[in-house]
Chain A
Amino acid sequence: MSAAHSPGTPVRAARSRGQRGASATALTGLALAVAIGVWWLGSARLALDHGTDAGRGAADALHALWLVRGMALSILCVRVGALYGWRRGADAGLGLISPSWPVVALAWSASATSLTQVALAELLLLAGSAALPLLGLFLRRSLRRVELAVVAGSGVGAALAAALWAASGSGYMPLH
C-alpha cells in the first residue's frame, strides 16, 4: 500500500492543520489579552501617579475585553464552523476567549463591577463560542457548497460583530 493511500496520513494531516489553527486562534486571543492588559496597566499607573480612581480604567478594560473578544468570536467562529465543523469552531472560540481570563480577573478586582456581571459576560462568550460554529455548520448544510457557506458565514459573522459593536453601549449588554 502506498503512503498516499495510508489511512493514517490524511487524519494526521487534518489533526496537524487543526492544531495549527487552534494554536493560531489561541495566540490571537493571547495577543488581545496582552494588548488590553498593557493598556489597562498603563492607565492604572497613570491613575496611581495622579491620585485618581484606577477603577474606571479597570471597568473600561473589562468592557473592551468583552467587546473585542465578542466581535472576534462572531467573525471567526461562524466561518470556522462552516469550514471545519462545530468541534474546531468551538475550539477556536475557546482559544480566543480563555487567554484573557487572568486579565479579566485582575481588572474585575480593580473595578467596581459586580462579580455576577463579569461571570455572566464570560458565560455569554462561552455560549457564543459553542453556538456560533453551529450557525456555520447550519449554513454549510443548507447551502451544500463549502465555498458559498464560508462566504455566507463570514458575512453573517461580520454582521453579528457590527451588531455587537452598535449595541455595546446599550443597557442590555453586560459590562456596558
Chain B
Amino acid sequence: MSRWSWLLWLALCGVTDASAEPRIDLAATPAWKGWTRSGRGTELDIRLTSDIATRATLDVAAGAQSARADVDLEPGRTVRLQVPIEAAEDAAVSAVSPGGSPVRKDVRLAQSESPLLGVGLGTDVPVRLDGFQTVTLAADDLPRNASAYASVDALILDGPTLRALDQRQLGALLAHAAECGRIVLVNTDLRARQVLDGVRGCGGRAVMSAASPAEGVEMLKSSLAMSLAPAISLVSIRELAQPDRVSWNRVLVLLAAYFAIAGLALIFVPSRPVLLLVPALATVAILALLHAIEPPPQLVVWSEGESGAQVARYEAWQMFPGLVRGQMRVPVLPQYAAVRSCEPSVPMRFDFDASRGRLTFAAFDTRLFRTTALCYSGMFPLQRTIAFEARTDALLELRNAGRSAWPSGALLAHGLVYDLPALGPGDSTIIRTEGRKSLEAPVRIAMARTESDRIATLWELDPGEVAEGAIDGKGWLLLTAPRP
C-alpha cells in the first residue's frame, strides 16, 4: 500500500471513529439549590448536549427510585429535562449513546432536619423564620414538577420572581397552592394574586399577600400557628381500599384442592411415582395458575375542596396486588399528576418521556400478597357551592348555590351523618334532625378531616370526574363550608 493510501485509510478511520463515538456533555442541577428533606420529593434539572446527532439513554437514580429516558440529541442544541426524584443524600445521573462512552454526574442533596423556607426575593433583604432553614432562591431554582414542592415547608416570593417563572414552573406553583402549600406573595401585582387566589386550597388560609418581607414572615408565623389539612395518610387509604383478599382466597382454594387430591392419592395409590408426581405436578400447576390469573389494579381517589372554591385537590392511589414473584411494568395514568411511589423504600423504576416531560411507566418487583402502590396528587376544577340556613324546626336548610347539579350524598355535622338528596342548581332541601352514626371508612375519614367549626358534605366520586377519561375505581369528594 502506498504512503498516500495509508494516510487516506488513517483519515477515514478517524472520521469513522468520530461518527461512532459522540461526546455527550451532561449537567444536573437540583431544585431548591440542592436542599430537600428526608422522605420528600424533589427534582433534578438535567442538561444534555452532544457534538453529533445521536440517541442517548439517560438514567437518574436517587434512593430506591430510578428513572430512564431516551433522548434525541442534535449538535449544538441543549436538551433540558426536569426529572422528579425522591430525596436521597446522593443522586446519580448517567447518559450513554450507542457506541459512546457513558457520562456520569453525581449530585449531592442536602437534607435539612429543620423545615425549609424558600425565599425568592429580588432584593437582598435577609429573611429569617425561627426554626426554619432559609434557602435563598432565584426563579430558575423553583421546580417544574409539583411533586418537588414537597421539599419546602413555606415559600416567600415577590413579583419579579413570579414574573420570571416559566409556564411549567407556574403550573407547579399553582398545584402547590391548591394543595395547601404555605406561600407568601410580597409586593405582587393584582393579576398574580388573582391567579393564585383562584386555586388556593384550605379556604385560602395558605396563600398570603404581604407588603414587605418582614410582614410576610409575620404572616407565616401566624399561619404556622394553625394547622392546615395535611395530605391523607396511606393508612387511611388502606381503610378506603378493599384489602387484597382475592389473592388470599385463591391461594386458600388452590392449597385446599391440592391437600384433598394428595390425601386421596397417598391413601389409595401409595407408590413412589405418586409420591413424586402429585406434589411436583401440583406445584407446577399452582404456580402456573397464579401466573395466569392477574388481579386488576385498584384505584382509590380522595378529593377535598371548599364550598365555592374553583378547584379541589385530590390524592389518588393505584394499587397493584401481586400474585407471583416477578416484575410488573404498568403504565402511569396520564390523567393524574405528580406520580410517585407511595413507599419510597420500595425500589421502583420509571420510564420518563423526554418529549412530554412526564413519567409514563413504572416497573417494580412483585410477590404474592404484596400490594405495590403508585400515588398521584393534583387539583381539578370544581364548582360546587353550598348555602346553609339555620332553622328552628329542623337541623338546617341546605341549598345548591352553584351552577351544576349534585348527586345524592351525605351531610356530616355534629358527628352524625344525614342523607343528602340529589339537588339541581338553586334547589334546596331541609335536613331533619334524625342523623345516624356511621362507622364506614369514608365517613370516619371525612369527619376526622373536617374542622370543628365547619360542616361537610361527602359524595361518592367517579374517578373520571377528577381527570378526563374513563377510569375504573372509586372515589370520594369532601366539600366543607363554615357552620351557619
Contact = CB atoms under 8 A, between A and B. Distances in A.
B286 interface: yes
B334 interface: no
Interface string B271-291: 110011011101100110010
A23 B266 contact: yes
B272 A27 contact: no
A48 interface: yes
Contacts of B279: 98-102
Interface in A111-150: 111-112, 115
A41 to B, nearest CB: 6
Contacts of B280: 98, 101
A119 to B, nearest CB: 12
B53 interface: no
B270 A49 contact: no
A112 B345 CA distance: 15
A108 B287 CA distance: 11
A94 B255 contact: no
A175 to B, nearest CB: 16
Given A48-B243, A91-B275, A109-B324, A41 B255 contact: yes
A102 B279 CA distance: 6
B283 A34 contact: no
A121 to B, nearest CB: 15
B325 interface: yes
B259 A51 contact: no
Nearest to A41: B252
Contacts of B286: 102, 105-106
B270 A48 contact: no
Given A48-B244, A94-B276, A109-B368, A102 B252 contact: no
A43 B38 CA distance: 32
A110 B324 CA distance: 7
Given A48-B245, A105-B287, A109-B325, A19 B266 contact: no
A106 B267 contact: no
A105 B324 CA distance: 10
Interface string B240-253: 00011100100110
Interface of A: 19-20, 22-23, 26-27, 30, 33-34, 37, 41, 44-45, 47-49, 51, 53-55, 58, 91, 94-95, 98-106, 108-112, 115
26 contacts: A22-B270, A22-B271, A23-B267, A26-B275, A30-B262, A37-B259, A44-B369, A45-B248, A48-B244, A51-B243, A53-B370, A58-B369, A94-B275, A95-B266, A98-B275, A98-B278, A101-B279, A101-B280, A102-B279, A104-B283, A105-B286, A106-B368, A109-B368, A110-B369, A110-B370, A111-B367
Interface of B: 235, 238, 243-245, 248, 251-252, 254-255, 258-259, 262-263, 266-267, 270-272, 275-276, 278-280, 282-283, 286-287, 290, 323-325, 367-370
